Amino acid sequence: MESMKNNRRKIFLHVMAWVVLFCFPYILSYNTDQAFQHVLAFSWIPLFLFMVIFYLNYLLLADRYFFPKKHVAFICINIILVVALISIRELWVNYFFPRPGQNVEGKGPPFNMILYVQTLSFLVPIVWAVALRAMERLVRTENEKKEVAHQQLKSDLQHLQYQLQPHFFFNSLNNIYALVDISPEDAKSTIHSLGKLMRYLLYDTHIERIPLAKEIEFMVRYIELGRLRLTDKTVVTYQFPQVDESVQVPPLLFISLIENAFKHGVSAKEESKISFSMGIEEHTIVFNGVNTDFPKSSSDQSGSGIGLRNLKERLELLYPNNHLFKTEHILGQFEVTLKIPLN
């Protein structure tokens, strides 16, 4: 459908351009008895011949000979065409409309000069035809590259999302496993919460964008699920805004930051804090996370930072050169800031 619209638009522009070119000489002609004959002989006939050589090059010769680098054949064919069209023009004009200024005594511009000027005039439509065809080929190539890049983007995002989901379930099942012996009731509640989260992952996240309100609801459930296995030594706080349903974001964009905080911000022996906040500032969604930093030992590399790596890759694919993702280690705390454009 889009291709048909482009073709119709192209045909319309070509028709309008030639209509203007054919009307312009007549509008500027003097109102004399021979005005129409002069316009026909010295404007419309040459324009018609220019149109013939233009479209022969535009529709046929450029693609068949010029771009495949068969330049010798391209030049030879055009030389034959130019000679033939100049001959037709001269025969037509001289037979029906004697050239002004050329009399019996041979006065007027020399024939060689006329032939030279006419040859140069026929080169103009050839050059324009090749240039226009080259521009169209370039635009088509760029569009094809964009389409390939778009398909690659969708494929990469889907691949990253499939990587994220097993990572999320792995962490959640670890939480449940830790609760089974300590508090069976909390374990049941956790399984129920996990079921809701799984339903969200299975049915709501396989689209390019979802309402931010749903994503916030998902994050709150995940945080509450993560809280169940924590002791009183860890304080978890969060502040998320009430947003309109029209505000949309890519799914599962912030969950890696929350996972990372629960993984590295909790200690069984020391007091720790985890906090999350989100706001909308000047058409920008701003997410901040702060947690006490307890780096994992070299022997415990579960996860290996898969979530954050995936997040960085997704941001580069979704918002190239149009986002901020910053992490800092300050006085025993890990701080992360993520800014993305609103919608």
Higher-confidence residue: 326 or 25? 326
| Residue 53 pLDDT level (bands cut at 50, 70, 90) | very high
Which of 315, 269, 309 is CA-nearest to residue 292? Answer: 269
pLDDT for 45: 83
**Stretch among 32-36, 131-135, 238-242, 262-266 having the lowest mean pLDDT:** 32-36
pLDDT averaged over the chain? 81
> Would you say domain 149-341 falls under CATH 3.40.50.1100?
no
Written as one string, the DSSP assignment of 163-185 is HHHHHHHHHHHHHHHHHHHH-HH
Average pLDDT, stretch 330-335? Answer: 90
Lookup result for tokens 């109102």: 31
| Residue 306 pLDDT level (bands cut at 50, 70, 90) | low
Average pLDDT, stretch 223-238? Answer: 85
Sheet harboring 234-239: ordered strands across?
234-239, 272-280, 284-292, 333-341, 324-330
Per-residue pLDDT reduced to its tens digit, 6-24? 778 888 888 888 888 888 7
Share of the chain above pLDDT 90, in %: 29
End-to-end Cα distance, the chain: 27
Q: Which residues pair with 339 in a beta bridge?
A: 286, 324
pLDDT for 77: 92
| Residue 104 pLDDT level (bands cut at 50, 70, 90) | very low
3-class state of residue 236 by DSSP: strand
Q: Is 329 exposed, middle or buried (0-12, 13-18, 19+ CB in 10 A)?
A: exposed
Which DSSP helix (H) or strand (E) runs through 284? strand 284-292
**Stretch among 214-218, 262-266, 278-282, 289-293 having the lowest mean pLDDT:** 262-266
Average pLDDT, stretch 285-289? Answer: 96
pLDDT for 103: 44
Average pLDDT, stretch 61-78? Answer: 91
**Looking at the chain, which residues constitute the CATH 3.30.565.10 domain(s)?**
149-341
Average pLDDT, stretch 83-87? Answer: 87
Average pLDDT, stretch 138-157? Answer: 79
